[in-house]
């Protein structure tokens, strides 16, 4: 018996976590309605900016600051982007899992044939 999860279990865990995060954010958001949805989408830009900041910090591109981040920091920030994007998708549709799977299949087919 192995301790590793199957792909189906991993996918279920991912979407259960996304649903949980979405529900928590919905219960605690200070701004509702259309404006709240737009702000949820803008959160993605903030997270992408944090990836850029971490890459600049990992490469020491700011001479005033030097090396301030690691490549592990960049990995974490990229994970935050993915999580934020999936929560944003869930905000737009309760069928986020199916929408994402369908889109991934189209992109894969287009790119890999």
**The total number of residues written for the chain in this structure:** 113
Q: What is the largest CA-CA distance in the chain?
A: 53
Q: What pLDDT score was predicted for residue 51? A: 98
Q: Does position 2 have pLDDT exceeding 70, yes or no?
A: no
* 90 closest CA partner among 7, 34, 43, 23: 23
- Confidence at residue 8, expressed as pLDDT on a 0 to 100 scale: 75
Q: Outline where the chain has alpha helix (H).
A: 7-28, 33-59, 71-92, 96-112
Per-residue model confidence as pLDDT tens digits over 72-85: 999 999 999 999 99
Instruction: Provide the pLDDT for residue 14.
Output: 96
For residue range 25-63, list pLDDT tens digits in order: 999 999 999 999 999 999 999 999 999 999 999 999 999
Among all chains, which residue has been given the structure tokens 């259309």? 34
What's the pLDDT tens digit per position in 9-27?
788 899 999 999 999 999 9
């Amino acid at each position: 018996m192995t301790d590793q999860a199957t792909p189906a279990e991993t996918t279920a865990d991912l979407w259960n976590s996304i649903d949980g995060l979405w529900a928590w954010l919905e219960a605690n958001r200070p701004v509702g309605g259309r404006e709240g949805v737009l702000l949820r989408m803008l959160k993605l830009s903030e997270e992408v900016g944090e990836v850029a900041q971490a890459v600049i910090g990992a490469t020491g591109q700011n001479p005033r600051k030097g090396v301030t981040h690691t490549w592990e920091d960049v990995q974490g920030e990229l994970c935050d982007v993915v999580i934020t994007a999936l929560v944003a998708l869930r905000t737009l549709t309760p069928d986020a899992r199916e929408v994402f799977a369908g889109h991934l299949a189209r992109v894969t087919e287009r790119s890999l044939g």
